[in-house]
Amino acid sequence: MNGLQTTRVVVIDDEFLEAEPLLRGLARLGIGALYFNGEEFPESLITGTRLVFLDLHLSGAAGGAHGAILKSVGVLSQVVPEITGEVGVICWTKHSDEVKDFAATLKERWPKFEPAFVMGLPKAEFLKPREDAFARLLVGVDGIFSEARLKVPTANEGELRGALEVLSSIKDRIVEAIKACAKTVHEPGQADIDALHKRVKKTFK
């Protein structure tokens, strides 16, 4: 089995929904990658690693932005060995302003590990949002009921007012049911493969 362990790229992200498009994007480029969520680790440090995509805000971190960076440094040290100039670290993050702090903290807390480079890669630039079908459905429901209201003659009679109230109540219940089905988290649909390919080629040229 050791002969099969040839992966050179590692992805560390506690949100698999955000890591999955990256993993699939790398696979389309012919690049195999190992995934870790920051809580589970390999049985032994992964030798031969050349590139790590590292989320800077992993779950379980405390102490604000600096605490999150300390957590990421600690997780990295449990995945790759202490080597010099062989592993590039891409901060795969929504917080690109924290990349410099990460590089400084890494040097301070783990001086025996010297990365080949540290760079930021904003997730927003490389993840395409999944089409929000629920939002489209809500617009459709609103249109249907707006059309139905126009077909009800305007009058003061109690029966017509009651009909409009029932109509509104039904609409509200349908909308709430749709919202209950919709996930509230952002779900990226796919990685921007062309942009990712250009960045990887630029990094390793």
Same domain, 41 and 119: yes
Same domain, 40 and 71: yes
Centroid of chain to Cα 201: 22
Strand partners, 129: 188
Same domain, 118 and 176: no
Same domain, 115 and 141: no
CATH code assigned at 200: 3.40.50.2300
Strand partners, 184: none
Residue-number span of the structural domain to which 166 is assigned: 133-181
Same domain, 44 and 64: yes
Give the tens place of pLDDT for each residue, 24-41.
888 887 888 999 999 999
Those residues whose C-beta lies under 8 Å from the C-beta of residue 161, and which sit 6 or more positions away, are none
Single pTM value for the model: 0.65
Strand partners, 120: 91
Domain count of the chain?
A: 2
Same domain, 61 and 160: no
Give the tens place of pLDDT for each residue, 155-185.
555 666 666 666 676 667 666 666 666 554 4
